[in-house]
């Protein structure tokens, strides 16, 4: 546990001052700002038509569901694609990973520490971006018009907990592949599954949009997280220092 | 003295290749143990097994009484691997701090400061390692190896790729660690001169097999045969040299300036040769039994195992 925290602290310290982090923060900032300004403008014109609160509430929850589902998804995915495997590839090619494994750290501590280091900054950025969008929608349009604050629970759970859990499971899977095989494989898995998720959410949002505000959708995310997490933990049985070292000598290095 | 490293019948198979075959050696605490061998002989595999990075296919390896697969064993080892493993984007201090935390050191600041001074990098402590020369990097890697004050240091080619002045600096640090601090050192190297200067015991590995293991001085004596060098005060005249050379029981082989080289023959003793030379009017400056250099031992052993 302590070893994992040391790896986490070190890797977060590497990610935060990096150029990749700055670029992601700028991109996410632009998306968040656009959503925080654009959605309330659209909402205002819609609410101005004079709907009663009882009629407006489910529609507003749906509307918010659509908005806040995309924000954490895009944020987490962008961060993962940027940070997930490149540092591991460099560490394997240049040698720090071998030195790290020659210490009392276990291979599992390195795996979970590195995965958390990728996930946590992404989660914090995603959390802040989603919160900004929720507050902007409520403060700039919903609260002044209806007098109520809207935060639908299923969407809140999905955005702040289940979707991040799904992404964390995906990171665990990607990092394990990066450690025991060629890091490009890990990166490909993360990008492939990430794009698949964006597509699914896009399709659901376009055709079955009412699903996004449901507990069913929240639980699908939770089930997805559990499924990918179980695969990652099953594969972690094959995670050993020897596998990491021998895979570091591959052609890609 | 108790064993520092015990390698018992270790074999390692990687795919189709047997990288180590029944390797056996023991190093005692306080030894500076040189591990020699050509490229691909199995030196790095041995080190990886010592550090728990690879599991032996068969056999048992222990470090200071602990099985090498146990975390406890790795707490007692400091290491410098073939690739220094330093983080270029961190300063020297940050690199050491990271490892100090991994080893569970709570207040490492003072220790880090002292170690950086010892390897003469205190002035550059706040500089990114990416700006360091190869020699400085190796010194920092040695400093990192000492951060948690280990009992045993495992060094894999610590001077490889370092320029001559850098090699001297790195060697001085190693000598200090060995002789002043009394640490046990396992040094894998290609540099025979370095090993001869630093190590008291060696093992020679080739194609996964330990060909020779023992104390350097003893091996030099054993491998030197019966070569005697006699230094004369004056250059020996050609007729006398030819005459002495014709006496086969003397075993005179060559004359280089004022030095005569004899290979002792059965039944001939050094005093016999000396008295014969004195009788012939040769003034003797000194007599010495020539010991084989590590390079000669290395070449002889590798020649023996070369396929016909």
Which one, of B273, B278, B285, lies nearest residue B234 by Cα?
B285
pLDDT for A253 equals 30
Cβ(B128)–Cβ(B160) under 8 Å?
A: no
> Which of B19, B45, B48 is the mutation pick for testing A, counting most A CBs within 10 A?
B48
Q: Is residue B215 over pLDDT 80?
A: yes
Q: Is residue B275 over pLDDT 80?
A: yes
- The DSSP string of A65-121 is HHHHHHHHHHHHHHHHHHHSSHHHHHHHHHSHHHHHHTSS--HHHHHHHHHHHHHHH
Cβ(B104)–Cβ(B115) under 8 Å?
A: no
Q: How many whole angstroms separate alpha carbon A225 and alpha carbon A60?
A: 27
- Cβ contact B74–A104 (<8 Å): yes
pLDDT for A198 equals 67
Contacts of A245 in chain B (CB under 8 A): 48, 53-54
Question: Measured at the alpha carbon of residue A203, what is the angle toward residues A200 and A205, in degrees to the nearest 5?
Answer: 105
Q: How many whole angstroms separate alpha carbon B207 and alpha carbon B40?
A: 7
Q: How far apart are the first and last CA of chain A?
A: 30
ipTM of the predicted assembly exceeds 0.85: no
Interface of A with B in 98-117 (CB under 8 A): 98-106
User: How many CB atoms lie under 10 A from the CB of residue A203?
Assistant: 10
Phi, psi of B201 (to 5 degrees): -135, 150
pLDDT for B225 equals 67
Report the mean per-residue pLDDT for chain B.
Answer: 86
Cβ(A124)–Cβ(A17) under 8 Å?
A: no
pLDDT for B97 equals 94
Alpha carbon separation from A124 to A6, A13, A71, A137, B221 (Å, rounded): 19, 15, 12, 20, 68
Q: Is residue B224 over pLDDT 80?
A: no
| Position B61 confidence tier, pLDDT thresholds 50, 70, 90 | very high
Phi, psi of B127 (to 5 degrees): -90, 150
Q: Is residue B127 over pLDDT 60?
A: yes
Shortest CB distance from B87 goes to which of A6, A9, A96? A96
Q: How many whole angstroms separate alpha carbon A8 and alpha carbon A109?
A: 9
Adjacent-strand bridge partners of B34: B187, B202
pLDDT for A251 equals 35
pLDDT for B48 equals 93
Residue range B25-39, pLDDT digits in tens:
999 888 899 998 888
Contacts of B53 in chain A (CB under 8 A): 98, 101-102, 241-242, 245
pLDDT for A64 equals 74
Contacts of B83 in chain A (CB under 8 A): 94-95, 98-99
Which one of A1-15, B87-101, B286-300 scores highest in mean pLDDT?
B87-101
Residue holding tokens 């610590």? Answer: B158
Which one, of A65, A71, A61, A114, lies nearest residue A239 by Cα?
A114
pLDDT for A252 equals 35
- How big is the A-B interface in CB pairs under 8 Å? 66
| Position B51 confidence tier, pLDDT thresholds 50, 70, 90 | very high
The three-state DSSP-derived secondary structure of B100-149 is: HHHCCCCCCHHHHHHHHHHCCCHHHCCCEHHHCCHHHHHHHHHHHHHCCC
pLDDT for B96 equals 94
Q: How many whole angstroms separate alpha carbon A193 and alpha carbon A167?
A: 10
A140 DSSP assignment? I
Residue holding tokens 């995965």? Answer: A115
Nearest CA in chain B to A245: B53
pLDDT in tens, chain A (253 residues): 788 899 998 888 888 887 777 888 888 888 888 888 887 887 777 777 776 667 767 777 777 776 667 666 666 666 666 655 567 777 887 778 899 999 999 999 999 999 898 888 888 888 888 888 888 888 887 788 777 787 778 888 888 888 888 888 888 888 888 888 877 777 777 777 777 776 776 676 666 666 767 788 788 888 888 998 999 999 999 899 999 988 876 433 3
């Amino acid at each position: 546990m302590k070893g994992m925290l040391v790896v986490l602290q070190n890797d977060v310290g590497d990610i935060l001052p990096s150029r990749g982090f700055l670029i992601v923060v700028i991109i996410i900032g632009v998306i968040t700002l656009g959503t925080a300004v654009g959605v309330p403008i659209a909402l205002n014109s819609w609410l101005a038509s004079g709907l009663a609160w009882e009629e407006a509430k489910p529609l507003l929850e749906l509307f918010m569901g659509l908005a806040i589902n995309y924000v954490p998804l895009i944020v987490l995915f962008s961060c993962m694609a940027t940070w997930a495997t490149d540092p591991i590839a460099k560490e394997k090619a240049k040698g720090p990973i071998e030195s790290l494994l020659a210490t009392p750290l276990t291979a599992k501590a390195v795996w979970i520490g590195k995965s958390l280091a990728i996930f946590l900054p992404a989660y914090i950025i995603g959390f802040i971006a989603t919160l900004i969008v929720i507050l902007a929608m409520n403060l700039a349009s919903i609260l002044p018009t209806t007098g109520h604050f809207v935060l639908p629970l299923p969407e809140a759970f999905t955005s702040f907990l289940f979707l991040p859990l799904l992404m964390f499971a995906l990171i665990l899977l990607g990092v394990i592949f990066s450690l025991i095989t060629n890091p490009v494989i890990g990166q490909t898995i993360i990008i492939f599954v990430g794009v698949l998720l964006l597509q699914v959410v896009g399709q659901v949002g376009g055709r079955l949009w009412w699903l996004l505000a449901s507990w069913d959708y929240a639980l699908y995310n939770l089930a997805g997280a559990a499924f990918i997490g179980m695969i990652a933990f099953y594969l972690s049985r094959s995670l050993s220092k020897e596998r990491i070292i021998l895979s570091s000598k591959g052609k890609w290095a | 003295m108790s064993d520092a490293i015990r390698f018992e019948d270790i074999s390692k198979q990687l795919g189709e290749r047997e990288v180590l075959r029944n390797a056996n050696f023991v190093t005692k605490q306080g030894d500076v143990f040189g591990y020699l061998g050509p490229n691909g002989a199995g030196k790095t595999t041995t080190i990886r097994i010592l550090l728990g990075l690879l599991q032996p296919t068969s056999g048992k390896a222990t470090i200071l009484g602990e099985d090498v697969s146990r975390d406890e064993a790795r707490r007692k080892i400091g290491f410098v691997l073939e690739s220094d493993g330093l983080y270029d984007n961190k300063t020297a201090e940050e690199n050491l701090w990271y490892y100090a935390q991994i080893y569970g050191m709570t207040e490492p600041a003072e220790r880090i400061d002292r170690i950086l001074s010892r390897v003469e990098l205190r002035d550059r402590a706040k500089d990114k390692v990416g700006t360091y020369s190869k020699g400085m990097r190796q010194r920092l890697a040695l400093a990192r190896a000492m951060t948690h004050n280990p009992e045993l240091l495992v060094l894999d080619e610590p001077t490889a790729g370092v320029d001559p002045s850098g090699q001297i600096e790195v060697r001085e640090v190693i000598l200090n660690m060995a002789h002043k601090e009394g640490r046990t050192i396992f040094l894998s190297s290609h540099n025979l001169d370095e090993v001869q200067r630093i190590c008291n015991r060696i093992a020679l590995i080739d194609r996964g097999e330990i060909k020779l293991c023992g104390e350097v001085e003893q091996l030099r004596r054993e491998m030197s045969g019966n070569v005697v060098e006699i230094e004369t005060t004056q250059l020996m005249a050609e007729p006398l040299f030819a005459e002495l050379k014709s006496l086969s029981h003397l075993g005179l082989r060559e004359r280089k300036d004022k030095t005569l080289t004899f290979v002792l023959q059965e039944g001939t003793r050094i005093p016999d040769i000396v008295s014969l030379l004195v009788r012939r009017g040769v003034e003797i400056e000194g007599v010495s039994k020539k010991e084989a250099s590590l390079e000669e031992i290395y070449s002889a052993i590798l020649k023996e195992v070369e396929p016909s």
